[in-house]
Amino acid sequence: MHGRTTTNERLTVRLLGRIEVAVHGVPIRLGGRQAQALFGLLALDPRRRPREAIAADLWPDADGGSTACLRQALWLVKSGLASAGLDPDRILEIEPDLLGLAPEAWLDLDVARFELAARSATPDVEAAIALYRGDLVEGLGHECFAAERERLSDMFEDALAVAAVERLRRDDIDGARSAAERLLARDPLREEAHAVLIEAYGRTGSRSQVARQYRRLITVLERELGVEPLPETEMAYRQALAATLDRSSRAVADTGIVPARRRLVPIGGRGAAGRRSVPIPESVAAGS
């Protein structure tokens, strides 16, 4: 949230996901991608800048027509503000060669709230995750947003990683799995998310789920990086596997049935040195 002198109007601006702008809960329509891109850029960087610089940021390949694109976009932004009953001159600072947000404009900006939640002295990762509706200005392919989009995306993924571990610590298994799976959908190489899933399956799942998740980790690390899991991840895997076996043994003991003996068989890895072992019943091994 930009620290500015307030007016009677506070604009709620959502840039995480598709752009949404509202005043007192009433949406402001910014017609077209050009207007959305311009307002998004001004919201992220409200200082006055040369019009040519803003036009070049947004439309670098316009072959001399970037200033015309800016004029059209600015007209659409002003029209949208006016249609919502706002005075564009109270929101925008427009000069012949300069453009920015007016000093008295007050924006409630989700990007600022997200960063505050994610990066404060005592981060609130749950609040950060809730604020992150999607990547920065989704649907707009303007290159000027790329670096900021990637930076915020990295922060979101870090928040997911922390949340997964914290939820697991609170024994919120479903929540931990949800955060870990969301993280892996964005970056399959995040080993800590695999470790959370392995431990979660160890607490409530089956040994086949534990082994399958560990095998996925081995595969992606070997294919993408040519490395093996960290020792602490392997330890988490072994502990999770032991937990499922212990739980299974107790369940069988309650029935009075004598379980078959198990032995270890290797999975994954490259060669004997890189192989892992998963216990399977001898009856299954003999029939394979």
pLDDT tens for each residue of 85-103: 999 999 999 999 999 999 8
Average pLDDT of the segment spanning 175-189: 98
106, β-bridge pairs: 10
Kindly tell me the number of DSSP H helices and DSSP E strands found in the chain: 12, 9
Q: Which residue has the tokens 């200082």?
A: 47
Q: DSSP secondary structure string, 216-254?
A: HHHHHHHHHTS----HHHHHHHHHHHHHHHHHHHHHHHH
In a domain, 41, yes or no: yes
Q: Is the pLDDT of residue 48 over 80?
A: yes
Q: Does the pTM exceed 0.85? A: no
The tokens for 83 are 């249609």
Q: How far is CA 130 from CA 124, 133, 134, 245, in A?
A: 10, 7, 10, 37
Q: Is the pLDDT of residue 274 over 60?
A: no
pLDDT band at 255 (very low <50, low <70, confident <90, very high): low
- Of residues 266 and 99, the one with the higher pLDDT is 99
In a domain, 241, yes or no: no
The tokens for 244 are 């499922």
The amino acid present at 250, given as its one-letter code, is: R
Domain with 51 in it: what CATH number? 1.10.10.10
In a domain, 33, yes or no: yes
Q: Which domain holds residue 19?
A: 1-162
Total domain count, the chain: 1
Q: Is the Cβ–Cβ distance between 157 and 73 less than 8 Å? A: no
The amino acid present at 22, given as its one-letter code, is: A
In a domain, 54, yes or no: yes
Whole-number Å distance between alpha carbons of 192 and 198: 10
In a domain, 1, yes or no: yes
Instruction: Kindly report, residue by residue over 118-146, the tens digit of the pLDDT.
Output: 999 999 999 999 999 999 999 999 999 99
In a domain, 277, yes or no: no
Q: How far is CA 45 from CA 73, 101, 172, 183, in A?
A: 17, 9, 39, 29
